[in-house]
Structure 1
Amino acid sequence: MDSAKGQNNETSETDFPQPHPTASINDKTALAVKYLQDRSVPFISAQSSTWSTDATAFNLRVPVNPALLIYARTAKHVQDVVDCGVAVGLKVSARGGGHSYTSLGLGGENDHLVVDLTHMSSISVDSDTYIATVEAGARLGDVARELFDNGGRAISHGSCPAVGISGHILHGGYGWASHNYGLALDWMVGASVVLANGMHVHCSKTENCDLFWAIRGAGSSFGIVTSYELATFAAPTTSIPFKVALDWQTEQQKIEGVTALVAFVQKVPADLNMRCE
């Protein structure tokens, strides 16, 4: 990987006081607070009035307590948080839509610096190539609307509008159009990523291609994506919803019916999307 093409922070961390090897989480968090304040990076702590709401896990069965919650508004903010984690000895995690069932957006365990990407949500579409540039905090509903409003375009993605693009596309992204158009990650043609060393790099099939290969399926393990470039297709102008109620009474009817339905679905045209309930 040629990380030399990336952009690093200008500020050296060598003068920042390093925590003692046996420093407590409170000591490390205090250092992180100073680090972020010195760089004007917006964050909240456990003492903030909105902490109980903003830092609560989506799945209440898996409660997690972050060290700090940082509201990044730029890629530079993300770089600062990653460098902060290295400087003070705290792990860094990113939260997109925040819908992880195991609270991975909050680190999956206590005491992470959590980068919330909510405020990085801009979406634009090139009028010539129809390549969309989508920031990592955008939600699927906003992506779908902006793509359609700017040239009648679309990508393959899930059906829940509140889900964040990042957790969805970095780990696959199955949806209604997948039968014909594949997964959401199949439409990614480029991405900008902050690596663990603080470098902000771009990757594609021709640039940092090993990173590009890795993030399409395991993206949260290799850095924090700040934006995506997505190829698009012409969105259908019409849709025909339909529902078939099958009155299967006996166990044998159900077995034969499901078997026949599976065989039917495997033979239908690719542009016919179906879901069995």
Structure 2
Amino acid sequence: MINSSEIRQSGFRGELIQSEDPDYDEARAVFNVSIDKRPVLIARCVDADDVARVVVLARKHNLPLAVRSTGHNVAGYAVCNDGVVVDLSRMKAITVDPSARTVRAESGCNWGEVNDALQPYGLAATGGFVSITGVAGLTLGGGLGWLVRKHGLALDNLLGAEVVLADGRRVKASSHENEDLFWAIRGGGGNFGVVTSFEFKVHPAGTVLAGIVLHPAGAAAGAIRRWRDLEAEAPDESTLGALLFHMPDDPSLPPPMRGAPVAGLGGVYAGPVEEGEKILRRLREYGPPLVDKFAPTPYNDAQRMADFLWPPGLHSYWKSSYFKALDDAAIDIVVDRFAHVPSRHTVIVLENYGNSAWSRVPESATAFGHRNWPWNIVVTSAWSDAKDSERNIAWTRELLDALGPYKAPGAYVNYLGGDEGFAGLQAAYGTKLGRLGAIKAQYDPTNLFRLNQNIAPAPLADAPGG
């Protein structure tokens, strides 16, 4: 069994936390409080050398190994029972090169921190609809964000990465170095090693038109149809989503709005404000909204505007699906089911990525799958009391089942909840799963990095989709 003295003797310089330490429970907690796992050791690394030392010892002792950046993923893979957690949360160095329009960020960073560093230069990175999402997990699985329609996924903007492999070696991956690994980590998740830093190209986006228009729940179906019709022909600069949620029970709100169910049409227009206003004018023509909060906004502030919808400290369960078209009947199902949602913390998001930078990247360019479906619906169920878990999970599954006739094949791996098994992998990667298994066999043949949406190592000829 691994112990702290053995890790210290290896030269480890970070912080080691075990069950007897007073901050153990805080250190093992993740965003989804349904996840309650007890690792033997949490190793808060200060650099890539620390990461390599922990990886080597976990492999030596054949212990489960979890990798934590910010712990935001709903499936809770950032912590494990009876194993070791490689905690990257102290690795937060950010280096901006404004002339080259690049940023290098270590894996403990979240997207808010990255865009705070970029804002003084009038630049922005593509990742993250909310600021607290980790750079690492989001990028490795895809990387949605408010600039995705204009500049693509976070992984589409990845120039290179530094990776600690299962044998402890530190390597670089880019378009000209370990190209197969670079292909795999752009969509294949944490299956191939611990990525300790990322280098991204970034884009001018100092100020954007951002905000939300709110309609009462009774007008939700019509408002969402108006959004759908506008987004189907929207320019790349427009990344607007439709949301169903409950307003906070906040004394500062007018009494009729406190805790009220609403339909929100919100997002970012990353182009000339006057052009964005033309789109908003058509959005507003649907009817007088309860709230109209669109305004020119610094991008790093715009990235925080939706943070309140996904607060920490809640139980969470997510389900999602792509759609080839967003039929009226599918919208009606979502709205009707939301009227009976068991928790006021649940948020449903409808997204559009068709005919945009996301869909123009060649399908074979990265491990990310399914760029051909324009619409996505993600149900982010959340509740405060563990006793309500069964009811909320059942409601979520029933909603996605009801949408079955309208769904397209495929899944976004970062939206998988952890209970889909191999079917989830097949949905996420399709025919790319064979190549991913072969690359996994090359870089992690014993499957040390298995606490994730796991791709088993397999020679290409033997792998599904191979």
Q: TM-score, normalising length from structure 1? A: 0.80
**2:149 pairs with one of 171, 179, 186:** 179
**1:276 pairs with one of 238, 242, 258:** 242
CA distance in 1, matches of 2:210, 2:198: 31
Structure 1, residues 20-62: CA drift from partner, whole Å, max 9, x if none? Answer: xxxxxxxx133xx232021242311111111121112432222
CA distance in 2, matches of 1:56, 1:258: 36
Question: Which residue in the other structure is 1:205 paired with?
Answer: 175
Structure 1, residues 67-108: CA drift from partner, whole Å, max 9, x if none? Answer: 10001001100000011112222122210011122220013x
Any idea what SS the aligned residue of 1:111 has? Answer: coil
Give the alignment's Cα RMSD to 1 decimal: 2.0
1:158 aligns with 2:128: yes
**2:94 pairs with one of 123, 137, 141:** 123
Question: Which residue in the other structure is 1:96 paired with?
Answer: 69
CA positional deviation for 1:244: 6.0
Any idea what SS the aligned residue of 2:57 has? Answer: helix
CA distance in 2, matches of 1:161, 1:260: 28
Any idea what SS the aligned residue of 2:211 has? Answer: coil
Question: Which residue in the other structure is 1:5 paired with?
Answer: none
Amino acid at match of 1:201: V
Question: Which residue in the other structure is 1:52 paired with?
Answer: 25
CA distance in 1, matches of 2:23, 2:47: 22
CA distance in 2, matches of 1:187, 1:170: 12
CA distance in 2, matches of 1:244, 1:115: 42
- TM-aligned CA distance change 1:78 to 1:257, over 3 Å: closer
Any idea what SS the aligned residue of 1:243 has? Answer: strand
- TM-aligned CA distance change 1:128 to 1:260, over 3 Å: closer
Structure 1: runs of 5 or more not aligned? 1-27
Question: Which residue in the other structure is 1:170 paired with?
Answer: 140
Does structure 2 retain, via aligned residues, the 8 Å contact 1:81–1:92?
no
What is the identity percentage for the equivalent residue pairs of Structure 1 and Structure 2? 30
1:148 aligns with 2:114: no
Does structure 2 retain, via aligned residues, the 8 Å contact 1:156–1:181?
yes
CA distance in 1, matches of 2:104, 2:226: 42
Q: Structure 2 matches for 1:77-92, cutoff 5 A?
A: 77-92=50-65
CA distance in 2, matches of 1:139, 1:260: 33
Pick which of 212-221 and 85-94 moved more: 85-94
CA distance in 2, matches of 1:65, 1:137: 21
Question: Which residue in the other structure is 2:248 paired with?
Answer: none
Q: TM-score, normalising length from structure 2? A: 0.49
CA positional deviation for 1:235: 1.1
CA distance in 2, matches of 1:127, 1:269: 27
Question: Which residue in the other structure is 1:17 paired with?
Answer: none
CA distance in 2, matches of 1:85, 1:246: 53
Any idea what SS the aligned residue of 1:148 has? Answer: helix
Q: Structure 2 matches for 1:34-73, cutoff 5 A?
A: 34-41=5-12, 42-73=15-46
CA distance in 2, matches of 1:50, 1:240: 39
